[in-house]
């Protein structure tokens, strides 16, 4: 399957109704590589009191395992960047993409391990600081 077919298939699947996107907001979490901060953030946001349908990705193509792309940007109802640099890099690589999502920018430096207690504490503090909404079910 070539890249065009793969992208078209992914874009067709963005609004798959089985995601229950009317119940669970689709939230894209973005850090540099998509390996430590954004997967930890996605895990936090997928649990109460946030209850989101989450994906994690990286903004830097040279080392992102899963890179932010048009399918993920289209899929997301909200985007949470771990810092301003990752927002800037995403917008630099996708300058013509109209961001129709709610955008939140945290201030989480790249100094934590995956799900490290210090990272979890910093995530909760930053979500509170930016007023990220809780969704109880």
Q: What does the pLDDT look like over 71-100, one tens digit per residue?
A: 899 899 999 999 999 999 999 999 887 767
Look at the domain 23-129 and name its fold.
Rossmann fold (3.40.50)
Closest CA to 80 of 130, 21, 8, 22: 130
**Between residues 4 and 60, which one has the greater pLDDT?**
60
Q: How far apart are CA 123 and CA 116, in angstroms?
A: 11
Residue 60, pLDDT above cutoff 60:
yes
Each residue of 103-135: pLDDT tens digit? 999 999 999 999 999 999 999 999 999 999 998
């Amino acid at each position: 399957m070539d890249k065009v077919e793969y992208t078209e298939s992914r874009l067709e699947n963005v609004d798959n109704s089985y995601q229950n996107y009317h119940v669970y907001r689709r939230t894209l979490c973005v850090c540099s590589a998509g390996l430590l901060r954004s997967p930890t953030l996605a895990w936090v946001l997928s649990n109460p009191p946030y209850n989101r349908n989450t994906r994690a990705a990286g903004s830097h193509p040279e080392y992102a395992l899963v890179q932010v792309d048009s399918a993920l940007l289209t899929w997301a109802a909200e985007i949470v960047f771990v810092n301003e640099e990752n927002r800037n890099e995403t917008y630099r690589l996708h300058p013509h993409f109209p961001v129709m999502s709610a955008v939140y920018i945290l201030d989480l430096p790249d100094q934590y391990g995956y799900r490290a207690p210090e990272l979890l504490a910093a995530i909760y503090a930053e979500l509170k600081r930016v007023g990220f909404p809780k969704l109880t079910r």
